[in-house]
Amino acid sequence: MSAEDSELTGVKEIARRANVSRGTVDRVIHNRTGVSQKTKDLVNAIIKELDYQPNIFARSLASKKQVVFAVLIPDVSQETNYWEAPLLGIQEAGAEISPYGITLKKYLYDVNDKNAFLEQIASIDLDGVQGVLLAPSFIEEAANFVKKLETRKIPYVFINSDIQGHNSLSYFGPDLYKSGYLSAHLIKYLVKRGEEILIVNISQEIDNEHHLLRKEQGFRNYFIENKLENPILKIDIKRTDYAYVSKSIQQVLQEHQVAAIFVTNSRVSTVAKYLKKTGDSSRVLIGFDYTKENLAFLKAGDIDFLICQKPREQGYKGLMALYQFVVHAKTGEKNNFMPIDIITSENCDFYIN
Amino acid sequence: MSAEDSELTGVKEIARRANVSRGTVDRVIHNRTGVSQKTKDLVNAIIKELDYQPNIFARSLASKKQVVFAVLIPDVSQETNYWEAPLLGIQEAGAEISPYGITLKKYLYDVNDKNAFLEQIASIDLDGVQGVLLAPSFIEEAANFVKKLETRKIPYVFINSDIQGHNSLSYFGPDLYKSGYLSAHLIKYLVKRGEEILIVNISQEIDNEHHLLRKEQGFRNYFIENKLENPILKIDIKRTDYAYVSKSIQQVLQEHQVAAIFVTNSRVSTVAKYLKKTGDSSRVLIGFDYTKENLAFLKAGDIDFLICQKPREQGYKGLMALYQFVVHAKTGEKNNFMPIDIITSENCDFYIN
DNA sequence: CTGAAAGCGCTTACAG
DNA sequence: CTGAAAGCGCTTACAG
C-alpha cells in the first residue's frame, strides 16, 4: 500500500514515467532553461495527469532560498497615526510566516511627498523580491511601478485603495464607493429635508482617478437614487495643514448654511478642531478612520460618526494572500472589501481594528 | 562562513557537543524514554545554550506523522444558525494549515442536549489527538473533559465562552461581563428615568456559573455604578421553544410596565416574534448575534440592536492558536476578547463576522 | 540538453 | 541506554 502510494506521486514518479532524471523534472517545474521542448511537454503532461502538488516542506528544506516580500506603505506621520494599524497587521502576519523562511523588507514613505514614494520605489531591488504589498497612494506613479512588476512577473497586492484596471493578485481595503454610499445613508437620518450638506476632500493629491472621488461618487449617488433634494456642496482642499484647512472651511461656512459635513478621509479631525474652536457644534460631522486624533474628537462629541474599515486586517490579510500565492500557489478572491464599521462615542472603546 | 554557521546549529551540532548520536538528541527533544538522566541533562543544557529551534520543514518531512485536532462545538440547529459562523472560521483556518499536515476531526452536538455533548466527548479517541478546540456549552461536563485533557497534556482552546479556573491554552470569545455592561449603556440612552427594564435569560442550562449570568451581572453593574434607578426585572426561561418562551414573556409583560427588554443570547428572535405578533412595538429590544432569524427582525425594526462578537473570527483564531502552539511551540495571549460590534438596521448589510 | 550524486535537517527503524 | 544508517521529497552543483 504505502509503497504503491509513494510510487504514484512526487518528482521521482514523474521522472520515472517520463524516463528522465529528477533534475530535469525540477527544471521543468521551475521553468528553467536547458530542457528540450519535447521533454518539457512530456513532463508537463505527466505533471498535469498526476495533479502533482509539490511538497513545500521538502522544497524549502532543499532550496535554502529565502523568500522576500517588499512592503510599500506610508509611514506614520505627525498628522495621523492611521498607518500604524496596517503595519501592525503586516508585522503580525510576518511573524506568523517567518518560520517558513519569509522575510519582509519595509519601504515607508511620507504620504504627502510624492518624491519620497518614488525614492522608495527606486530603492527596491526587485531581483531579490518575490512579492510586493503596497498602498498605491500616488496613482500614476504606483501604476508605473506595478507595470514594471508585471513584466517581471512579481505578484503584488494592493491594500487601502486599489488602482482599477491593473492586474494585482488581490485587493484588501474598502469598497470606496460603498463607504461613501453608507455615509450618505447615515447623514440622511441626521439632516432635515432641503438642508445643505458639505463634502470635504482634503489631500494634496486630488485628480480624476483619485480614490477620494470614488467615495464622493457613492455619497452623491445615494442622494440621487433616493431622490433626496438636499443641496450638496463640495470643496477640494489641496493642503493638509490646519491653517489652510481651517481657512478653507471657514470660507464655505460663511457663505452657506451647512447642516452636515462629510470629510472623505481621516483628516476629519482637522475640521473638527476648527469647528470646536468656533464653539458651534450644531452641525453633523462624519469622517473616516480610528486615529487617535479622531477618537479624541469623537469622544468629545465633536465628530458624530467615524467609519472604519479594519486597517489592521487589511495589512494582515494582504500579506497572507501574498504568502499563500507565492508559497502555496493558492489564489483567493481578487477583491476583498472590508466591512464598514460605524464607530460612535458609545462603542468606540470596544472597537478593534 | 556558511560552514561555520551550519556547525553552530541543529541536532547535528547538539550531538557533536554532547558527544552523543543524533538519535539520542532526538529522543531528548521529544521526551522519549530510554535516555539516561545524565545524557538528558547534558543535551538539554546544550539545547538551551544554543537556543535551539527545530526546523519544522525537516521535522514534518522526516516524520510522516499527521497532526490531528478535535473540534467540539454545537451543530447548526433549526432554531439558530449561529454556529455556522465559527465553523466557517474553523474550516478557513483548517484549509490554511492543511498543507502542514494538520487534519481536523469535528464533533458536533445539539446545544440543547447534554447527552449529545457527553456522547461526542466519549467518541473522541484522545490517543490520536494533539489538540482540542471546544465551546464548553455544558460547564460541568466540559470541566470534567478538560481535566482529562490536562492529565494527558493535550492542549485545548475555548471559544465562545470559557470556564474560569481552568488551564486552557487560550480563550477566544466575548468578554461576557463587558458585553452585558455595554448593553446596559445602550439601553440607558433609550429608556427614561425610572422606567422598568427586563432581563431575559433563555437557556435550558441556567445555573450559578452559567455564562449568561456573567452578562447579566455586567448589565446590572452598569446601572449600579451609574446610580441609575430603573427597576430591573429578570426572568429565567428554561425551555427554548416558541410556545413556552412567548407564554413566559406574556406573563411578565402583563404584570409590569416594561420599557426595554434585554435578551442575554441569540434567542432574542423568539421574543421579537412574540412582540411582533402582539403588534406592540413600543419597547426597546436588544439581544445577541447575527443569526438569520435575528437579522430579519432587526431589519423589520422589531429588534433595535444586536450585539455581535465575531463568531467566525473566534473559530479561525482559536484553531490558529492551537496550531501555533502545537507545531511552533508559540503561545499568544491567554484571553482574547472579541470586539463588541453594535449592529443596527443601518449597518447590518455591511457587517462581516 | 541531461543525469547521477550529494545534501537540506530532521526522524525512524534496527542492531546492539 | 545508545549509535549508525537510511530515508522523507525536493534542489543544487557538477560533469558530460
Tell me the per-residue pLDDT of A236-249, one tens digit each, with 9 for 90 and over. 999 999 999 999 99
Nearest protein residue by Cα to C1' of nucleotide C12: B63
Nearest to B339 among A99, A186, A351 (CB): A351
pLDDT at position A7: 53
B23 and B70 share one domain:
no
Least confident stretch, A201-210, B150-159, B286-295: A201-210
Nearest protein residue by Cα to C1' of nucleotide C9: B58
B265 and B301 share one domain:
yes
Task: Select from A308, A330, A346 the last residue of a domain.
Answer: A308
Kind and range of the H or E element at A187? helix A176-190
CA–CA distance, B346 with B298 (Å, rounded to integer):
10
pLDDT at position B209: 59
Nearest to B352 among A60, A339, A342 (CB): A339
Residue A90 within a domain = yes
Cβ–Cβ under 8 Å, residues A141 and A118? yes
Q: Read off the pLDDT of each residue in B209-226 and give the average, rounded to a whole number.
A: 90
What angle in degrees, to the nearest 10, is found between the helix axes of A268-278 and A292-299? Answer: 40
A301 and A182 share one domain:
yes
Task: Select from A289, A308, A327 the last residue of a domain.
Answer: A308
pLDDT at position A266: 93
CA–CA distance, A331 with B57 (Å, rounded to integer):
23
pLDDT at position A6: 42
CA–CA distance, B115 with B284 (Å, rounded to integer):
37
Distance C6 C1' – A325 CA (angstroms): 31
pLDDT at position B2: 37
- For A76-110, the pLDDT digits (tens) are 987 788 999 999 999 999 998 888 889 999 999 99
Least confident stretch, A54-58, A146-150, B119-123, B318-322: A54-58
Which one has a higher pLDDT value, B252 or B63? B252
Residues of chain A with C-beta less than 8 angstroms from the C-beta of B345: none
Q: For residue B81, which phi and psi values (nearest 5 degrees)? A: -100, 20
Residue A343 within a domain = no
CA angle B46–B52–B58, rounded 5-degree value: 125
Residue A255 within a domain = yes
Q: Which residues touch strand C (CB under 7 A)?
A: A 19-24, 27, 33-40, 58, 61-62, 64; B 6, 9-12, 22-23, 26, 29-30, 52, 54-55, 58-59, 61-65
pLDDT at position A209: 59
For residue A59, the distance in angstroms to the closest alpha carbon of chain B comes to 9
B7 and B130 share one domain:
no
Residues of chain B with C-beta less than 8 angstroms from the C-beta of A56: 57, 99
* pLDDT(A63) > 90: no
pLDDT at position B5: 43
pLDDT at position B55: 86
Residue B353 within a domain = no
Which one has a higher pLDDT value, B79 or A129? A129
Q: Read off the pLDDT of each residue in B6-12 and give the average, rounded to a whole number.
A: 73
Nearest residue to A182 via CA among A103, A286, A253: A286
Please give the mean pLDDT across all residues of chain A.
Answer: 90
Nearest CA in chain B to A53: B99
The HSE-up count of residue B142 (CA atoms within 13 Å, CB side) is 27
B272 and B317 share one domain:
no
B269 and B295 share one domain:
yes
Residue A231 within a domain = yes
Residue A191 within a domain = yes
Q: Can you state the percent helix, strand and coil of chain A, rounding each to 5? A: 50, 20, 35
Cβ–Cβ under 8 Å, residues A183 and A197? no
* pLDDT(B208) > 80: no
Percent of chain B with pLDDT over 90: 60
pLDDT at position B255: 94
* pLDDT(A283) > 80: yes
Chain A contact for B347 (CB, 8 A cutoff):
yes
Residue A282 within a domain = yes
Number of domains in chain B: 3
Q: Is A188 exposed, middle or buried (0-12, 13-18, 19+ CB in 10 A)?
A: middle
Please give the mean pLDDT across all residues of chain B.
Answer: 90
CA–CA distance, A307 with A286 (Å, rounded to integer):
8
What angle in degrees, to the nearest 10, is found between the helix axes of B10-18 and B37-50? Answer: 130
pLDDT at position A188: 86
Chain A residues 294-313 within an 8 A CB cutoff of chain B: none
A183 and A303 share one domain:
yes
pLDDT at position B33: 85
The HSE-up count of residue B175 (CA atoms within 13 Å, CB side) is 16
A274 and A316 share one domain:
no
Q: Is A227 exposed, middle or buried (0-12, 13-18, 19+ CB in 10 A)?
A: exposed
Chain B contact for A178 (CB, 8 A cutoff):
yes
* pLDDT(A342) > 90: no
Chain B contact for A350 (CB, 8 A cutoff):
yes
Beta strands in B175-248 (DSSP E): 196-202, 232-237
The HSE-up count of residue A99 (CA atoms within 13 Å, CB side) is 17
Which one has a higher pLDDT value, A293 or A1? A293
CATH code at position A27: 1.10.260.40
Q: Read off the pLDDT of each residue in B5-27 and give the average, rounded to a whole number.
A: 83
pLDDT at position A1: 36
Cell 544554543 maps to which residue?
B50
Which one has a higher pLDDT value, B66 or A157? A157
A41 and A145 share one domain:
no
The residue segments making up the domain with residue B34 are 3-54
A316 and A169 share one domain:
yes
Nucleotides of strand C lying closer than 7 angstroms to a protein CB: 1-14
CATH code at position B232: 3.40.50.2300
pLDDT at position B1: 35
pLDDT at position B6: 42
Least confident stretch, A118-132, A295-309, B206-220: B206-220
B219 and B252 share one domain:
yes
pLDDT at position A2: 37
pLDDT at position A50: 87
CA–CA distance, A7 with B173 (Å, rounded to integer):
46
CA–CA distance, B70 with A305 (Å, rounded to integer):
43
A43 and A74 share one domain:
no
pLDDT at position A208: 58
Distance C7 C1' – B69 CA (angstroms): 34
Cell reading at B294: 435575528
Which one has a higher pLDDT value, B323 or A327? B323
- For B254-271, the pLDDT digits (tens) are 999 999 999 999 999 999
CA–CA distance, A51 with A139 (Å, rounded to integer):
40
Residue A334 within a domain = yes
Nearest to A328 among B57, B99, B186 (CB): B99
For residue A324, the distance in angstroms to the closest alpha carbon of chain B comes to 8
